Chain A
Amino acid sequence: MRNRRGIVVGIAAAALAAASAPLLSAYPLTLLTQAAIVAVLAMSLDVLLGYTGLPSLGHAAYFGVAAYAVGILTTDYQRGFLVCLLAGLVLATLTAAVFGLLAIRATGTYFLMITLALGMVVWGLAFRWVSMTKGDNGIAGVPRPDVGLPWNLGAPLPFFYFVLIAALLAWTLLGLLVRSPFGMTLMGIRESESRMRALGYNVWLHKYLAFVISGAFAGFAGVFWAYYNGFVSPVDVQLVTSVETLLMVALGGPGTLAGPALGAALIVFLKNFVSVYTKRWLLILGAVYIGVILFAPRGVLGAFRRDR
């Protein structure tokens, strides 16, 4: 039943956003766009954290390499949307495929540490490989994509719908994934790895594939992030971004897709609204981290869940 409730909540939220978008001014609209992109990132992490039980602390890496791919290809080589999308996806998937080989052996805290370390490798490259990434200055001037539609995606409203459709596509694909026999196996591994192994499942392969798929979807989000932000910098791959994604998943409730998506939206709005009213938004964000862990350890959606 809880699956269906998540879908209903998610569709309602997306429909509400889509319907109200034309009435909104530019600023809330960019926030909605941002929320939709980050929601994909949070959902991709949830495949690992919520469904497979692997707490990755380096998820910004796959998000970031895809964003960098778009940044470099659009500014230095003037490539179109499809080339950039493909390049971002391939690069993120490859990065996850290599990192997965190193990380999947470890479990629990060691998995957390090794993914953190691998994320730092990417951050180090972004920060220091100046000839490729422009280092700390970042890559500015990423244009909005031109996909041959009659609407100009440079304007906030069409771009929002464009991103929303992409996010819904990602949500659908991830939803199909976690409800497939493959997804069920992942949940089995989350509950008891040894039992799944005894039943004859190839646990390593399932975890590895989950890792790579999760990275690919993070890359999908990264592609749109680069177009949305118009700017790619080491901030996109830093540890804080990875941790913030974890917070979104934890806030929304791991093990549901709609939960992390809502968690992502909540954090995006909170960050932006609080920073409008006070300079002390880091204080408040820090308090949110602590509050979520102490008072809603199963997330906002999880708090309403009866089973488990």
Chain B
Amino acid sequence: MSPEFWIVQTFNGLSYGALLFLLASGLSLIFGVMRVVNLAHGSYFLLGGYVALSVIWKTKSFPLALLSGALAIALIGIGMERLFLRRLPGQTLGQVLMTVGFALIFQDLALLIWGGDPYSLPLPAWLQGVVTVGALRFPKYRIFIMALATVIGAALWLALDRTRVGAMIRAAVDDAEMAQGVGIRVPTVSLGVFALGALLAALGGGIGGGFLGVYPGLDIEILPYAFVVVIVGGLGSLPGAMVGSLLVGLLDNFGKALFPELAYFTLFAPMALILALRPTGLFGRT
């Protein structure tokens, strides 16, 4: 294996990890605050990609497409949380089945609206092409994804760690009942976090549309990755989601490159091992 192989694969792994971070950070926060295992999270990713696609076809504006995709799906998230999930506090099984129900409905609606053909989100000129370093070529778009995920990750961290709202969210993650007791409106916090999670996932879907594409089945395909990230990193932990995303991005890339037959095994087996040794994940609290 040449050094170029390692550099390129590491770059690819990290950029995929950056995309996964957008998807998984929301899932992790949602779980942290509401203890909901949201199996419709992959659907937010897919729908975000589709909405972005429709908007870019109409307006030709890349930023507007990403933004409107994210906002539209955030609204869907708000509806799901307010009207449905809130009725099932603490019922893990019920939440799982309900979110699966939504995932199936979204899958079918997407097929109905956008059809079965795979699409790719057209990129603006400034994101096309590659940056050449010596003999190595790095696609600009992947560099953009990494930069954007870094900015969003930093913003999330600052918001959670340094602001009043962030403190309220952390309090709700730690102990919802106590947080409610000291006057934090936990239901409102939950709703906000759920909307934020859906928004981030949809943003990820729009961005992912530029290099993964947007196609039926993407929702089910991407969901396990988000789960692995969250499980490895620790449920409800933002640093966990960051480290987990990069780890999963790298594991997935090297797994596929080095052991093509065992690619998913090299992804899921380390996760099962981490869970067995540390059931709460790397950064989860015991």
Contacts and interface: CB of A to CB of B under 8 A. Distances in A.
Contacts of B235: 109, 113
A283 B263 CA distance: 32
Interface residues of B, number: 47
Interface in B252-284: 260-265, 267-269, 271-272, 275-276, 279-280
A218 B262 CA distance: 25
B104 to A, nearest CB: 3
A286 B84 CA distance: 13
A280 B264 CA distance: 31
Contact of A121 (B31, B109, B269): B269
A250 B95 CA distance: 12
B275 A128 contact: no
B280 A110 contact: yes
B138 to A, nearest CB: 27
A109 B112 CA distance: 33
B114 interface: no
A292 B95 CA distance: 12
Nearest to B280: A110
B35 A128 contact: no
Contacts of A125: 262, 264-265
Interface in B67-89: 84, 87-88
Contacts of A285: 101, 104
Contact of B98 (A49, A282, A293): A293
A286 B104 CA distance: 5
Given A128-B260, A280-B108, A293 B265 contact: no
Contacts of B228: 117, 120
B227 interface: yes
A121 B268 contact: yes
A166 B267 CA distance: 37
A246 B97 contact: yes
B107 to A, nearest CB: 6
A80 to B, nearest CB: 29
Interface stretch (A6-14, A64-72, A100-108): A100-108
Given A113-B227, A118-B272, A123 B264 contact: yes
Interface string A280-307: 1011011111101110010000000000
Interface in B82-133: 84, 87-88, 91-94, 96-98, 100-105, 107-109, 111-112
Contacts of B37: 109, 112-113
B220 interface: yes
A161 to B, nearest CB: 33
A55 B93 contact: yes
Contacts of B63: none
A91 interface: no
Given A106-B275, A106-B279, A290-B98, A121 B35 contact: no
A293 B101 contact: yes
* Closest 5 A/B residue pairs (Cβ): A124-B264, A289-B101, A286-B104, A286-B105, A282-B108
Interface of A: 49, 55, 57, 101-102, 105-106, 108-110, 112-114, 116-118, 120-121, 123-125, 127-131, 238-240, 243, 246-247, 250, 280, 282-283, 285-290, 292-294, 297
Interface of B: 31, 35, 37, 39, 84, 87-88, 91-94, 96-98, 100-105, 107-109, 111-112, 220, 223-224, 227-228, 231, 235, 260-265, 267-269, 271-272, 275-276, 279-280
